[in-house]
Every structure is written in C-alpha cells, then in structure tokens.
Structure 1
C-alpha cells in the first residue's frame, strides 16, 4: 500500500552547534568590555549548551515539573521538593560553569573580569534552560551580602563559591558546595516589603551572632531546596535581614513549612513556593532595621541577571527564527530570502545584539565598582537595563515565534524551544521589581551623584556617528537633572537605554548594524518589528546573526 504522504519541507532541530562560536555579537561585546579575557571556557560552555544531550535535559526538566512532598510515608514532616534527574544534570552543569557564587572567589576576582565572564556564561546557559538558573542567580546575589555577618561568611563562602553541586537536605559541612535563596515578599505587600508582618524574636547569641525565632510566612519563596536563605522579618529594631539555613548547626532540620508550589506561566523547571515559619531559627545579617538597604543591594545583582538572562533568551529566539527560515520554503523560495521576512529577521537581530551589548556593559561596571564612574553607571543602568531589555524580550519572542508560524506554537521538538522561551520571558520583567518599580528606582538613582556627567562621558565616543543619536543625547542632561517626574520615568528609562545601546553598537558592531538601529529606534517610532527602512543592509545584519 502506498504511503498517504511524504514528509518534506520540515526543519531539522537547531542542535549540535556551539552557541558561543556562532554568536558574533557576544564575542564583539566581550572584546569591548574585557579584551584580555580568555574565552576558551565560554567556547566549551557554548558547545555543551548547544549539544543534543543538554537540550534533552532542558526538555525533560520542564516536562517533568517539581513535586512537593510535605510528609514521608510514615507521616514525618519533611517539606522536600523532588526534581527530575535532568534538573540536577542542568544544575550541575551551571555550577561547574561558575554561574553562582564563583565570581567572588579570590582567583576569579583577581582576573578583573569576573562579572563579565560570568555574565557571558549566564547568557549562554540561559539559551539552553533559564528556569534552573533561579537558585543559581540568587546564590550569586546573596554571597556578598553575607559579609555583614563575618562568622557566617567565613563558614559558608567557600561552599558558595565552589563549583560542586550537591542536592539534598544535609548539613552544610558535609556538602562540597551549597546554594542559597531569598524570601522577601508576603501576601499583603509584594514589592512593598516594608509591609511585611513576619516577626523575629531574639533567642540568644552563639558563634554565628544574634539568633532569632521567626514566625510568619513568605508568599514567593523560590527554590525552596536551597541550603539556606536570606529573609526579611520585623525585629525590635525594624525590618531586618536574617540568615535561615535548612539544616541547623546541630544537624537537625529547621522549621520550614512548604505550603504549596506555585503553578506558574513559565519557569516550569524551577520550584517556587509558599512557606510558613513557626519558631524558625535564623541569624541576623547586618544591623537591625537595615533590611531594606540590604535587599536593595542583593536586588541589584539579580536585576543584572534579569537583563543578562533576557538577552540570552532573545538570542536563542532569534537563532531559532533564523535557523527555521533558512530551511523552510514558501511561495517558491526560502523564507529567509523573502523581502518582508528579511526585514523582520534583521530587526529581531538588531534588538538581540543591542540587548547583549547593554547587559555586558552593565556587567563590566560591576567588575570596576571601585571606580566612581563605573559605580554610578551600575546604579543607574541596572534599573534601566532591567526595565528595557525585559520589556522588549516578550515582544521579540512573540515575533520570533511568528516566523515559524504554527510550528512555533507547539510544545514539542525543536519548535518547542520557542514556546518555552515565550512563556519564560515575563518572569524576568516581573521578578525583582516590575516595570514601575524599575522606573521609580531610576529616579532614586538620579539623586546619587552627577548622573548627567556620567552618561555624557559614556556616550561621548559615539558623538557624531548618527544625527538622531546626537539629538537624543542632547535632550538627556535636562531630563536627568531633575527634569523628569514620576509619570515620565518609564519614558526616560527607555530613552537612556536606547541611547546607551546605540552608543555601544557604534563602537562594537558593523556600521550596517549600528546605522539600522539608530534609523529604526531613534529617527522613527519603532512600534512593531519588521519596519526597518528599505535602505537597510538586511543581508549583512542577517549573516552576522546566523547561529551557525
């Protein structure tokens, strides 16, 4: 009997490629921000992240979501989350790549490029699987905060910077490496952490300092299987920061009641929980009443990761769109050769490269925190990058999915990667402060020093490269120096982001890329992808962005 039909004009999965070697935008951003950096480890990570084996782990970790076990079969309370083996394989790869607390290890800090190197690696791994990076990112953010409790930092820092991954609930001394999470928001407050009601009562003092008993809850408690957490609670001196381990120094389990796991839109491989504290033991980190400044410092690090992570997701979305359209034919020729599709693909490539340039430039500022200019830039660009890159991510993912048509909307095969990316995009925009929180934080940052001068210095190398960029730059000083009210904060964040992105592309990208970015983002309104001017050098932009 003859077959009913023959399968043809279908696309092979994008697998077995080196995500670093095919990413010219990332390579050029690294040359600009860390010219002496040895990129061999990044090339090896790019090979691993692009492999069929790791892509299979990413699929399985999302298909087999975490399961909560509040009790064992004998009725004992255990409060454990069970993960698929692929989750642990991904976590092991991420820690071996040094994506967690490793940049704070003395040998990494001595290189001078620890945060840029880690930022590039974080982007590469995000292309593979972003959800498992939640505990990784939190470990990165809280490691330096522990310095405010020298005794805990002395004991835990070597484990937090270790490249070993050790799952399970065990005493920290028995583990070659540990991870940490954060618990800040509560039902009634959300981003308004000053509304927290969890109470901390002094319970004595020991080798880790002042010990407290916590009673209350956390509404979003991500990665509850971490070895310890930094949490906020109200003490006698006000809202304070506390170190809360899963296992106490005497080897007994701390009281951490996991009520349920969140059923989220995306971020499926990661467990996010609601928890309750009932006489839970925790140690003070820093001073009583200084919880908000400490959480803001940690939030700065996780906001950097939101920008880095979204940039990585954008790159993978564009790669999937380019890979598909280079193989799929319609109306007599390949999709990638269709003029209108060229416009869309080139436009997506511009957005992705601009995000990469801004995110890595921000990482460089963290490497040079001792420099006043870089410190000020880090304070200002963090909310800007988090706001703008994350806002653009969801729109880019939707347009990239559209390049695949119906195949991009399914949850299986190579096309399923885009569906996963699309569901993942909003979390980076919402987590650690949604758009309005970032815009308000920008206004606070403007009061921290001479921001106008810092931005002028940063943008100066691109002066004269494009008339539209020069006009935008000329408007910024007055708007930065008190000329923007709360209602205009989002507009200012967007415009500064575009100016910095354009300036960076003028220094790191081919003229075709920088010119098209300025024409489409600065000279004319950019309300939808695929509206680049007809004079754009589409072929050059697309060739540069091809993943392999």
Structure 2
C-alpha cells in the first residue's frame, strides 16, 4: 500500500439549513431539502485524478477538468431532456417515399457534439502519447455520468478504428472523417460530411451472441476504386445507432462469415437499401436509437479477408468491452455522488444522515466498491495503451478486459439500487436521476457479451492462449505477500483454475474470484491504506454481511466518505 496517510476527515462538510419559522396558517414551507449538485466531475474526484496521473495522463488534466465541469453541470440537464424526449422513427415522408430517418431531441445532438468535440472517440488514436488511452477513458467515465445513451455511437466510432485499418483502401477513405472532432448529424453522403460516426449490426434473431449462425448473405458484385463491392441481403435483430454514417456488418459468403462496411448512403448519394423496421422499446438507454433493420441488396465493401469476419471484428469487440466497464463504473460513480450529497444535506431524527452510523456504513461500503471498480478499469485502459510495445501487457489486456467487464458490470445494478435507497422515496422519482442510472445499468453487462458469454470467453482464453494465463498470474502474484487475506484468496482462485473438473459449471464463480483478486491488487498498490484495509477485510477477509452497509467495526467510514464526496 503506497499511501500510508489516513483519510481526510469529513467534519467540514456543510450542514443543512434549519427549518424556517412557519407563518400562521401556512401549509407549505420548503426546508430540509437537498440543494442541486453541480460540480466538476474531474477536479472533484480525488481517486480518478490519482488514477489518471498515475497512469501517465496528467498532461490532459486541463481537457479533463474542462469536460468534468460540463458533465457535472449543463450536460446533466441535456441528459435529462434526451431521455425525456426519446428518438422517433419516420419510415416514410408525407408523399410515401421511404426515408428511414430517426429524429432526435436537440439535447441528444448537443451531447454528441460535446463528446465528439472533446475527442472522446479519437484522442487515443490521434494523440497516442503515454496516457492518451487513460485520458480518453476518463472522458468516457465522466460522460456516462451525464448521459450514457450517447455512448453507443461514440464507443463504436472509437472501437472501429482497428478493424478499418485491416483494409487500407477503406481506412484511407473513412478514417479522416471518423477521427474528426466535428459532429455532423446531416443525412448526406459520407465524403461530404465534416465528421462521421459508425455503428454496427452483428446479431440476428436466430443467433444472438452466436454470430456464426448469421443468415445474412453477401454477394460480390464487382470492384470499385480498389474496394471489393458486395450486396447484402438479410435481417439484423439489433443495429445500434441507425443514424450513423456507416456500419460494420457480418454476413455469409461462400467462404464463411465475413465483415463488411455498409454506408448509410451509396457512393452516388442515394439511400442505401437498409430499411429500419422498428426502434427497440428498451428498459433504459432510451436516448439512443437501437433498431431492427432489413437489408435488401445493400451496398457494402469488404473489410478483412472473406471467411474471417469474426477475427476481423474482434478488436472492435475488445475495445467496446473496455467502454462497457468504463460506463458501468461511471454510472456507479454518479449514483454514489448523489447518495453522499443527499446524506450530507438531509436531516432525519435530529441529525444529518451522513452523521448517523448506519448510513455512514452504507455510504462507506458503496465508496469502497466504486473505487475498486474504477481502479480496475483505469488499469485496464493503461494495459490497452501498453499493448503495442509489450506482449505481456497485450496478453493481460486480452484476459483482463473480459474479467473486468464481467465484474464491474455485474456489480452496477445492485450498487445503484442501494444508492437509490439512500435517498429513500426521493431517489425513486425521475427528477433525482437515479431511476435513469438504474435502468441504464444492466445494458453494459448485456452488451458485447452477457455474463455467461464473458465467463466462458475467459476460460477459453486461459485454456487456449497460455500467454494470457501467464500475464494474469504475473500481475496478481506481484502483490503476493502484501496481505495475508489477499494471498489466501489468490491461492484458492489459482488452485480452482488449475482444476479442470466442471469448469464451465463453475465459470462465473471463477471469473468473479479473478475480479476480486484484480481489485484487491489495484487497491493494495494505489489506494490509501485505511481504504484498502477496509476493502480487504470486508471483501476477502470475510468480515462482511453480504449486503452494503455491513462493514466491520473500526472502519474509517468518515474518511472513506469524505474521500469519495465531490466538492461542489
């Protein structure tokens, strides 16, 4: 544990105003209510700042602080409006012409413009100095706290870059627009636009995660400007962000599943034969348009070799899984921020909620969980950055992406519910913002591989790619000897992985235990000693009741909460 200083005291936190004297006959005096929180989500987040600086992103602190001020201020209202007025599909114009347009509230476009302008999709590619991927990840982490629905097109536009680079002619034509920091929502041909966004359409109703079961057919029709041109015919059950300028699509050729780039408009400017059947009516993520589409001879160009579509697109999936973990961690951070803010201003039974022992235990427990998750995802971002020059980091990123995605995304829904409960009835109403976070939370666990898919992917990688096992073990063993509870957990986990009996049946338990080990390693390395001690005692030492708010006596709850609170 590198930081031996005790956590700061929260005694300086503000007290709520006393109740005003009620006028005779008055029936409505407003008091003991929590003030609106507007804060800088970067400058006010001590642990995030430490992680960014520690992994080399300190050069971006100006950009991050500026974006933190916007995500913690005006962008919160934009997020509310983008969800209150969800996108609407218009399939035909008034004359009966097919137009397939999705119309968004202006708040959605404003959020997209903020994200694109900050380089959230491009920073790691256009300015690849040390710390760039970490800085970019911090932008994602903060953006999700304001509004996560816009992350679907932002993440895919970011993640598509490695796939496009596998086809140089396609990359030459598309990457300048993809990497642009100008948001251009106009429905015009890609070469005429100031900036481009990309989506993807992989899954079909009969296959789901089993993309090799796809029935969409691709027929080669010729060559155009050095690109192999195909026509796609089929039905895609999920096409996220259908107003993007192009989509990576999987379809069958005689050689097998192949990857294609399908533009929304053909080179001559006409609409491509991509027909939006409907928008999905989802639990959350309502500001984003997820659609079902039909392809009727749609124009597309091949990306990567025929029959190698899954391999071509795997790097895109790898990067989107990083954003799933970042998104879940960001949602948890915003839920925690709102819970602590409420508790520091709300009185009950003669005292502030934050001064009452039971509430302090809950808030401190939540803070431990959230910082552990954030530390894991920022370490993961750092490994992405190091992968190009360090084979061991590349192998670590391969396996840790799945482990971290599984662990953090699984923890988010229950975490946000508990934060909601800290606000009581106030947290159950839309105006608090917590219901929107709660509805959003399951998406990251489902997108790009639900729990079983991810857990089995971990087992497959460990079994078939020895370098991943070695890299993961090397990272975890580095902290051996720092804490007996960590050592015992690590020994049990590695022993369980070494047994081949019923591996698939035990898959979730094994991956969850790996997640705990990674979290413990990061906290031992980077968190203050009292915080790491509380986490180790409760998560690995067995001194926990299984629910939030059951930390052991003697925990420095006041200091943990103070560290986690955002300064308004």
- Shared topology, TM-score over 0.5? yes
Q: Alpha-carbon deviation of 1:294?
A: 2.2
Q: How far, CA to CA, are the matches of 2:497 and 2:61 in structure 1? A: 37
TM-score (norm 1): 0.96
Q: Do the aligned partners of 2:52 and 2:58 also contact (CA within 8 Å) in 1? A: no
Q: Deviations over 1:40-84 (max 9, x none)?
A: 110110011111x22221111000000000011121110000000
Does residue 71 (structure 1) correspond to residue 88 (structure 2)? The answer is: no
Does residue 381 (structure 1) correspond to residue 400 (structure 2)? The answer is: yes
Q: How far, CA to CA, are the matches of 2:114 and 2:58 in structure 1? A: 25
Match of 1:230, SS? Answer: strand
* Coordinate RMSD, CA, aligned: 1.4
After alignment, is 449-458 or 329-338 more displaced? 449-458
Does residue 99 (structure 1) correspond to residue 120 (structure 2)? The answer is: yes
Does residue 86 (structure 1) correspond to residue 103 (structure 2)? The answer is: no
Indicate which of 410, 418, 428 corresponds to 2:444: 428
Q: How far, CA to CA, are the matches of 2:318 and 2:165 in structure 1? A: 16
Q: How far, CA to CA, are the matches of 2:549 and 2:180 in structure 1? A: 45
Q: How far, CA to CA, are the matches of 2:262 and 2:498 in structure 1? A: 41
Does residue 527 (structure 1) correspond to residue 546 (structure 2)? The answer is: yes
Match of 2:60, SS? Answer: coil
Q: Alpha-carbon deviation of 1:540?
A: 1.0
Q: Alpha-carbon deviation of 1:114?
A: 2.1
Q: How far, CA to CA, are the matches of 2:229 and 2:396 in structure 1? A: 37
Indicate which of 271, 276, 281 corresponds to 1:258: 276
- Gap regions ≥5 residues in structure 2: 1-23
For 2:61, the equivalent position in structure 1 comes to 39
Indicate which of 441, 449, 467 corresponds to 2:466: 449
Q: How far, CA to CA, are the matches of 2:492 and 2:467 in structure 1? A: 16
Q: Do the aligned partners of 2:403 and 2:458 also contact (CA within 8 Å) in 1? A: yes
Q: Do the aligned partners of 1:260 and 1:274 also contact (CA within 8 Å) in 2? A: yes
Identify if the C-alpha distance between structure 1 residues 34 and 7 changes in structure 2 by more than 3 Å, giving closer, same or farther: same
Pairs within 5 Å for 1:327-476:
327-370=345-388, 371-412=390-431, 415=432, 417-446=433-462, 447-476=464-493
Q: Alpha-carbon deviation of 1:462?
A: 2.7
Higher relative contact order (CA 8 A, sep 6+): 2
For 1:190, the equivalent position in structure 2 comes to 208
Q: Alpha-carbon deviation of 1:454?
A: 2.0
Q: How far, CA to CA, are the matches of 2:57 and 2:316 in structure 1? A: 28
Q: How far, CA to CA, are the matches of 1:37 and 1:483 in structure 2? A: 46
Match of 2:299, SS? Answer: strand
For 1:512, the equivalent position in structure 2 comes to 530
Q: How far, CA to CA, are the matches of 2:382 and 2:256 in structure 1? A: 35
Q: How far, CA to CA, are the matches of 1:418 and 1:472 in structure 2? A: 34
Q: Alpha-carbon deviation of 1:501?
A: 0.8
Q: Do the aligned partners of 1:309 and 1:428 also contact (CA within 8 Å) in 2? A: yes
Pairs within 5 Å for 1:43-54:
43-51=65-73, 53-54=74-75
Q: Do the aligned partners of 2:335 and 2:434 also contact (CA within 8 Å) in 1? A: yes
Q: Deviations over 1:62-107 (max 9, x none)?
A: 00000000011121110000000000000000111111134222xx
Q: Deviations over 1:101-125 (max 9, x none)?
A: 34222xx11x122211111110011
Q: Deviations over 1:113-154 (max 9, x none)?
A: 221111111001111110111100011111220112211100
Q: How far, CA to CA, are the matches of 2:92 and 2:489 in structure 1? A: 60
> Number of residue pairs matched?
540
Q: Do the aligned partners of 1:451 and 1:480 also contact (CA within 8 Å) in 2? A: no
Q: Alpha-carbon deviation of 1:26?
A: 0.7
Identify if the C-alpha distance between structure 1 residues 102 and 72 changes in structure 2 by more than 3 Å, giving closer, same or farther: farther
Q: Do the aligned partners of 1:103 and 1:118 also contact (CA within 8 Å) in 2? A: yes
Does residue 13 (structure 1) correspond to residue 36 (structure 2)? The answer is: yes
- Gap regions ≥5 residues in structure 1: none
Q: Alpha-carbon deviation of 1:10?
A: 1.0
For 2:321, the equivalent position in structure 1 comes to 303
Q: How far, CA to CA, are the matches of 1:482 and 1:192 in structure 2? A: 27
Pairs within 5 Å for 1:219-230:
219-230=237-248
Q: Deviations over 1:495-543 (max 9, x none)?
A: 1111111111112111111111111111116621111101111111011
